[in-house]
Amino acid sequence: MMRINIYYGGRGLIEDPTIYVINKLADVLKDLRVEVNRYNLYEDKQGISTLTRTLKECDGVILAVNVEWMGIGGLMQQFLDACWLYADKEKISRLYMLPVVMSSTYGERDAEFTLIKAWEMFGGIPLNGLCAYVENHVDFETNPEYTLMIEKRAESLYRTINQKTKTFPNSTNAVKQTLLVNNTIDLTPQESEQLSMYVSDDTYVKKQKEDIEELTQIFKEMLGTSDDGQEFISNLKNSFHPLDDFSASYAITIEDANKTLVIEVKNSDLKCYYGQKEDADVAAKTSHETMTSIINSQMTFQRAFMSGALTAKGNFKTLRSFDTIFQFES
């Protein structure tokens, strides 16, 4: 039995004429004993990546969108992106595609061309689509001539797939082979399918991000301890300009490195170490990148605080003095 999948990229609004068209197409195809499966992309936005698996089970596809503002819309674009990344291109090369584009504004031809061009880039076989500007969806849906045209197009789609009608070659495949390099990992269709499932799984993606952050932290700690935990300390000592009768303490927590740099100043004496100091005059928090910028004289301590790159509490007069007692050179 012939199988045709319909992928609808609209929002599912009652007044969307695209829904009427694909329903009419489905009715005619079912009368011809075709198994029709419809996938509404708006119903499972997180699972769009996994829909590429359904392409293996069909003989033809209908890509249907409604142009409400400009272009084919984000959901259909997401589906096409998934096809490019994860779909079995060998299977797509044998699939006929009928584009259906209804528009309530300008741009239905451009949207149809986008669908055709995308399918050609996948290596598939696009057909002349159903494309129309619909000012009033009630008038459109009750017009018997339009209904007849839709039914004829469904019958034509059935004959084309059933007879495996040949089409003329186009230049897109030649350009794709010579100029458009797919920088994705070379995977088998089975591996691509599995990857698409992982991508659509929020829990898996979140876990991967956490693993990456953990590895990043490990490497940062390795880099930070490569000089026996002296990162930034030698810079502070070399840039120290003591003030008479000035004593202060700073506890600067470098959040992404998960450590606190303690600075104790008493007249001309300076102590710097990584540890804890609960009673510091200034308790600050910042990132490793911001602290590096301060040490490299790309940003002052005060400017980092004013911009929000560094947060602090305590004695703000002491906070402002940091840039006086530590004068870094770029």
Beta partners for residue 96, in sequence order: 60, 125
Give Dmax (Cα) for the chain: 95
Give the global pTM.
0.60
Question: In the chain, what are the domain boundaries?
Answer: 3-199, 233-325
Question: 302: buried, middle or exposed (CB in 10 Å: 19+, 13-18, 0-12)?
Answer: middle
Separation CA 102–CA 84 (nearest Å):
24
Phi first, then psi, for residue 248 (nearest 5°) are -165, 165
The CATH number corresponding to 233-325 among 3.40.50.970, 3.30.450.20, 3.30.1050.10, 3.30.200.20 equals 3.30.1050.10
Q: Does domain 3-199 have CATH number 3.40.50.360?
A: yes
Per-residue pLDDT of the chain in tens (330 residues, 90 and over written 9): 999 999 999 999 999 999 999 999 999 999 999 999 999 999 988 889 899 999 998 999 999 999 999 899 999 999 999 999 999 989 999 999 999 999 999 999 999 999 999 999 999 999 999 999 999 999 999 999 999 999 999 999 999 999 999 888 877 766 666 655 555 555 566 666 566 566 556 666 667 777 777 776 666 555 544 444 578 899 999 999 999 899 999 999 999 888 999 999 999 999 999 999 999 999 999 999 999 999 999 999 999 999 999 999 999 899 999 999 999 886
